[in-house]
């Protein structure tokens, strides 16, 4: 059975699909629009934690009395946060930067429950990318899979360029399910079992 006891403050179809895969169905999708510009000198980890928290706080303020779940994800090479590419040339530069290197994908998940209590988990996953040829870079850029996202989508053509994922695969997609489930369960939000499934047989 489904549970519908929370609002998802993200318009990402990938995050919604991940939640639904573990039986957690948000009652509504209400993305929070905030300024996502990093502060001057802000490091990736505090930045992504601030983004997830700010989105949850904005959605909670707009929806008082509701459980609100938010998340944000960033790709990091060294200490450089990868931003959305405005055109093919910029995305080509991103792919050259990622080629043959290990980079990090950091996802932060934040839950504000009905009482205003804040819970947050942040997960870092390492991605080992193969050395990309010029032809492979051109193929990926031409695919357009990167449009609307920062860096790439792991589910698609790029998956064939990844040698190893060390950490949470679902976190790379946009929502680390183990940590997210624990946050929801901690707030009393659980996947509802079918009636009678947990009942023991009576008598003999």
Cβ–Cβ < 8 Å for 125, 166? yes
Nearest to 32 by CA among 13, 49, 50, 57: 57
Q: Determine which one of 28, 72, 87, 113 is catalytic.
A: 72
Q: How many residues does the chain have?
A: 204
> CA-CA distance, 183 to 72, in Å (whole number)?
15
> CA-CA distance, 95 to 137, in Å (whole number)?
6
Nearest to 73 by CA among 127, 140, 29, 130: 127
- Tell me whether residue 72 is one of the annotated catalytic residues: yes
Point out the residues that are catalytic. 72
């Amino acid at each position: 059975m489904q549970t519908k006891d929370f609002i998802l403050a993200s318009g990402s179809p990938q995050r919604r699909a991940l939640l639904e895969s573990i039986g957690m169905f948000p009652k509504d999708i209400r993305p929070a629009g905030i300024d996502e510009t990093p502060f001057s000198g802000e490091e990736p980890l505090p930045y992504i934690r601030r983004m997830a928290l700010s989105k949850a706080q904005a959605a909670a303020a707009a929806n008082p009395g509701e459980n609100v779940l938010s998340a944000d994800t960033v790709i990091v090479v060294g200490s450089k946060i990868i931003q959305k590419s405005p055109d093919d040339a910029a995305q080509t530069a991103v792919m050259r930067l990622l080629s043959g290197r290990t980079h990090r994908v950091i996802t932060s998940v934040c839950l504000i429950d009905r009482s205003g209590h804040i819970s947050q988990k942040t997960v870092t996953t390492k991605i080992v990318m193969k050395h990309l040829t010029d032809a492979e870079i051109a193929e990926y850029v031409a695919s357009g899979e990167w449009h609307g996202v920062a860096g790439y989508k792991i589910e698609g053509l790029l998956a064939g360029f990844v040698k190893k994922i060390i950490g949470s695969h679902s976190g790379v997609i946009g929502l680390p399910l183990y940590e997210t489930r624990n946050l929801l369960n901690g707030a009393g939000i659980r996947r509802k079992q079918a009636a009678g499934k947990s009942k023991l047989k009576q008598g003999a």
